Amino acid sequence: MIIQVGGSRAGNLGARASDGAIHVDINGAAPVVTQMTPMAFDRIWVSATVLPNGEVLMTGGSAYDNQLQDTALTAEMWNPTTKTFRPLASTPIARMYHSTSLLLPDATVLIGGGGAPGPLINLNAEIYSPPYLFDANGNAAARLTIGRSTSREDYNHLSNISWTGAGTVAKAAMIRTGAVTHSNDMEQRFIPLNFVVRGNTVDVRMPANANLAPPGYYHIFLLNAAGVPSVSKIVSLGVAREKNVLLPGDALSGGDSLVSPDGRHKLTFQADGNLALYTGNNQAIWASGTFNKGGVKAVMQADGNLVIYNQANQALWSSGTFGAQFAGGKLVLQNDSNLVIYKDGKAYWASNTCCR
């Protein structure tokens, strides 16, 4: 869904600005445009910023093109469920032409500039803290903290992310990092992510393809049941990954595989919970022996240990390579059919299935 708000009326910059809002459903064969309840203020050069909870913050603008006439000093929030706006806090500073509004990793919003070449030349900025960052008493709300995660993600990849903090993970979302000019950020997009919580880790499935999320940099936020977002981790999405390597923090779940560079060997986490290595003739040459024991994922941990966990996040099998000397190790499926854990080029564990 796309939303469009404010701006000039019929392209006439000399006329009074619009308070209108529409949403465009692009999920069907043809786009469907629907009028929404308007904003409380007429706004041209309004900045719209997508937030981690899926709401959209509206700031700045005025009733006439870059003029201090009926300036919109009160922010408004659009709710994707009700498709309506509600008023928020106000600012004494008018933000108009050339203004910027940018989501920051801590889930606040940087709002700055605006007014040039006149009637204002704002060389200042403000930080707006959305309501989700406060509890009912106005104090800072308890939030989750993202721990271990990878900085590179590929499409449809299952990423294992550790977390701490109050409550549990109730929502995971990906938001494109901002690139704002003239109150517009055409690359903004909010992508809810499928996830499964397993103790103090969460398995998060990346978007399936570039049609859903073009390659680039994204925030990943975890939100608790109260809707409070974590500080984000910024990842690069769409960077080609080696299909035969499991990096620290990577995971395999039901049906996921590593494939050797020559395509002859495959390591698969099977639906029965077994991690099995097959040769080109579909012969199993190594397995973890965890079939029908409730295994749900195999994780290459940051401490260098390859571990198979059940739904309760209990370890069923491991390579036994945990500790400082193994930290940062990666799992590699080689063309010689050997499965090896390396750190800094040195092998610390192997399936001993070479040359099959």
**How do 245-246 and 74-79 pair as beta strands?**
unpaired
**How high is the mean pLDDT of the chain?**
93
Q: Find the catalytic residue in 97, 128, 278, 309.
A: 97
pLDDT at position 182 over 90: no
Q: What is the mean pLDDT of residues 150-177?
A: 89
For residue range 8-60, what is the model confidence (pLDDT) as tens digits? 998 888 899 999 999 999 999 999 999 999 999 999 999 999 999 999 999 99
d(CA 85, CA 55): 10
pLDDT at position 311 over 80: yes
Answer yes or no: 97 catalytic: yes
pLDDT score at 242: 82
Cα→Cα distances 208→169, 193, 214, 238, 261, Å:
21, 10, 11, 10, 22
For residue range 261-277, what is the model confidence (pLDDT) as tens digits? 999 999 999 999 999 99
Scanning 106-254, the segments in alpha helix (DSSP H) are none
Question: Which of 82-91, 167-176, 294-303 has the least mean pLDDT?
Answer: 294-303
The pair of three-digit structure tokens given for residue 106, joined into one six-digit string = 């801590």
pLDDT at position 240 over 80: no
Q: Are 260 and 334 in contact (CB under 8 A)?
A: yes
pLDDT score at 67: 94
pLDDT at position 241 over 80: no
The domains located in the chain, with CATH, are: 2-133 (2.120.10.80), 145-237 (2.60.40.10), 245-350 (2.90.10.10)
pLDDT score at 356: 78
pLDDT score at 272: 93
Predicted TM-score of the model (pTM): 0.79
Helix (H, G, I), strand (E, B) or coil at 131: helix
The pair of three-digit structure tokens given for residue 63, joined into one six-digit string = 């009733």
Helix (H, G, I), strand (E, B) or coil at 342: strand
pLDDT score at 201: 85
d(CA 225, CA 223): 7
For residue range 275-308, what is the model confidence (pLDDT) as tens digits? 999 998 889 999 999 999 999 899 999 899 999 9
For residue range 188-239, what is the model confidence (pLDDT) as tens digits? 999 999 999 988 889 899 999 999 999 999 999 999 999 999 999 999 998 7
Order of strands across the sheet that contains 330-333? 245-246, 330-333, 339-343, 346-350
pLDDT score at 154: 85
